[in-house]
Amino acid sequence: MVNSKAQLPSVTGKVLLRRSKMKLGYLDEKPEVWGLHMLRGGVIDNDDIVAYASQAANVPADNVNLALQALLDAITYFVINGHTVQIPGLGSIGTITNVKVAQTLEEANADTIRKTHIQFYPTDQVRELCSLKNVSTELVKLEVPGTSGGGDNEPAEPHPGEDTGD
Amino acid sequence: MAVKGKIRIRKTTQKLGYLDEKPTVYRIRTLTMPVISGENLVQYVAKSANVPVSSIRAAVAAIAQGICYFVINGHAVHFNNFGTFHLKMQYKVAQTEEECTTKNIKRLVPEFIAHRALLDQLMAISFETYDTVSLQD
């Protein structure tokens, strides 16, 4: 029987973190600070998701594969035509357009569009699921020769959106 | 298959209220298109994949469930030519190693990063001026 209930998993998550030293290169003094970085697990691709979904929904893997391809194509088609698409159980995906203002009506045209990008809005349930209340964090120590706890992907500057502290 | 998108835009006026003179300027706004609800999406996907609706509904729910499960366990879920879902961490930096603990984490948010192929399709979007809004004070 097909399991068609769109329920979010009632599981808690766990992420592993490491400490590393980094330089805040955008400041004049370029101070060295300590930051936290997530240790990423393996990348999950289409096949892994299809296998998981096929087992969870009790639907043949071929159908899930077809569904996934059609789903991604449909979302792409609607998004590039200006629609916002609600993905059940996940959130919404839509476009945001940045434009420049013009002084006259004639100047206000498609050339004033700076950039169009994609925005993902998770549902409240997904936000709750991914929040610190539901996801536990653990700090691990990585011994990497020649560095002080850093790794291959240690950035020199903090990611955009991250607080740089006081 | 790359499909060319089209977004309709309209001209509108705007007052820049944060300036003292509050000048009126012109800008482009995209027309708000109907939101494609989950059910509409499922029906569309079922039709295009030629798979029963119940299977599609179950598959979509399970795919969303799978994405959530892997993301909250630190994985990045990557879809070819579409994008990647992952968990983004916002934290406060520390001055010393001892101060750098998990208590510095402000929040964890799920994030989606579009693939280059999808971004290229966005760049290829054509914009069609729908209507010109007359100046209204």
Given 3.40.50.720, 3.30.70.20, 3.90.1200.10, 4.10.520.10, which CATH number is that of A15-140?
Answer: 4.10.520.10
Residues 95-114 on B with a CB inside 8 Å of A are 95-97, 99-102, 104-112, 114
Contact B35 A83 (CB under 8 A): yes
pTM for this prediction:
0.81
Grade residue B86 by pLDDT with cuts at 50, 70 and 90. very high
A22 to chain B: closest CA residue: B93
Q: Which of B108, B116, B123 to mutate to test the interface with A (most CBs of A within 10 A)?
A: B108
Domain that holds residue B93: 76-123
Instruction: Indicate which of A14, A16, A101 best probes the interface with B, i.e. most B CBs within 10 Å of its own CB.
Output: A101
At B2, the pLDDT band (50, 70, 90 cuts) reads low
Searching chain A, which residue's CA lies closest to the CA of residue B42?
A: A71
pLDDT grade for B131, boundaries at 50, 70 and 90: low
Burial of B115 (0-12, 13-18, 19+ CB in 10 A): middle
For chain A, give the secondary structure using H, E and C.
Answer: CCCCCCCCCCCCEEEEEEEEEEECCCCCCCCEEEEEEEECCCCECHHHHHHHHHHHHCCCHHHHHHHHHHHHHHHHHHHHCCCCEEECCCEEEEEEEEECCECCCCCCCHHHEEEEEEEEEECHHHHHHCCCCCEEEEEECCCCCCCCCCCCCCCCCCCCCCCCCC
Residue B21 lies in a domain: no
CA nearest to A94, candidates A121, A69, A113, A74 = A121
For residue B28, being part of any structural domain is answered with no
Q: Does a structural domain hold residue B66? A: no
Q: What's chain A's length in residues?
A: 166
Tell me if B18 is assigned to some domain. Answer: no
Cβ(A22)–Cβ(A151) under 8 Å?
A: no
Cβ of B110 within 8 Å of Cβ of A122? The answer is yes
Cβ distance of A163 and B51 shorter than 8 Å: no
Task: Tell how strand B24-30 and strand B6-15 pair up.
Answer: antiparallel
The answer to whether position B111 is within a domain reads yes
> How do residues A10-60 score in pLDDT, each as one tens digit?
678 899 999 988 888 888 888 889 999 888 888 899 999 999 999 988 889
| Alpha-carbon distance A78 to nearest alpha carbon in chain B (angstroms) | 8
In a domain, B89, yes or no: yes
Tell me the pLDDT band of A119, cut-offs 50, 70 and 90.
Answer: very high
**Does residue B119 form part of some domain?**
yes
A75, exposed or middle or buried, with CB in 10 Å at 0-12, 13-18, 19+?
buried
Number of domains in chain B: 1
pLDDT, tens digit, 9 for 90 and up, residues A129-165:
999 988 999 988 876 655 544 444 444 444 444 444 4
For chain A, the domains span 15-140
Give how far A18 is from chain B: nearest CA, Å: 9
- The pLDDT tens digits of the residues spanning A50-107 come to 999 999 888 899 989 999 999 999 999 999 999 999 999 999 999 998 888 888 888 8
Taking the CB of residue A114, how many other CB atoms lie within 10 A of it? 9
Q: Lowest-confidence range among A141-150, B20-29, B94-103?
A: A141-150
Of the spans B93-97, B101-105, B108-112, which averages the highest pLDDT? B108-112
Domain for residue B80, yes or no?
A: yes
ipTM at complex level: 0.86
